[in-house]
Amino acid sequence: MIIFSFDFGLKKIGIAIGNTLTLHSRPFDIIYPKTKKERYIYIDKLITEWHPITIVVGIPNIYDEFGNIQLSYLNCKKFSNQLKERYKIPIVLINEHNSSIEAQEYLNNKDVKNDDAIAAALILNRYFESKKINY
C-alpha cells in the first residue's frame, strides 16, 4: 500500500512515496506552488492517482532556540490539518529535525534543488522505522 510524505514549505514542497509492504521510500517530486489553489490541484491529482492510505508530514520543532513558537511549525500544522480535512485519510506528523541537512549531505551539496524530495524520503523512512510492524 502507498504512503506519501511531504517536506512542507511555503515556497516548495518535497514529496516522497513509499510502500508499506517493502518499507521502502524514494524521492518523488518537488512542487513550487504559487498559491494554495495550485498546491491542492497537484496534491488532488496525487491522491486520486495513487490512493495513499496515509500521508506523513515532516514537522519542525515547535520552539526555536529562544523559546518562541516557530512559524514553520504553525504552517506545517495548518497544512497537515488541511490535508486531514480535505482527504479524510490518516495524517501522521514526524519530526523533520535535520532532514534537510541530511539530504544535502547525501547529495554532497551538489544537487541542492532536489534536497526537499530527499528530505521527504528521509522523513518517510523515519515513519517506517517508528512503526516496526508489517502492514
Cα–Cα distance, 33 to 125 (Å, whole number): 25
The pLDDT value recorded for residue 103 is 47
Cell numbers representing residue 132 in the block: 516496526
Region at 100 (left for phi over 0; alpha for psi -120 to 50; beta for the rest):
alpha
The pLDDT value recorded for residue 133 is 55
The pLDDT value recorded for residue 109 is 56
The pLDDT value recorded for residue 64 is 86
Cα–Cα distance, 110 to 51 (Å, whole number): 33
Residues of the chain with pLDDT under 70: 97-114, 132-135
Looking at residue 7, its amino acid is D
Closest listed residue to residue 62, CA positions, set 76, 73, 51, 48: 73
The pLDDT value recorded for residue 111 is 55
Instruction: Give the CA dihedral 50, 125, 42, 48, nearest 10 degrees.
Output: 20
> pTM of the entire structure?
0.85
* Residue 19: partners with Cβ closer than 8 Å, 6 or more residues away: 1, 2, 3, 25
Looking at residue 13, its amino acid is I
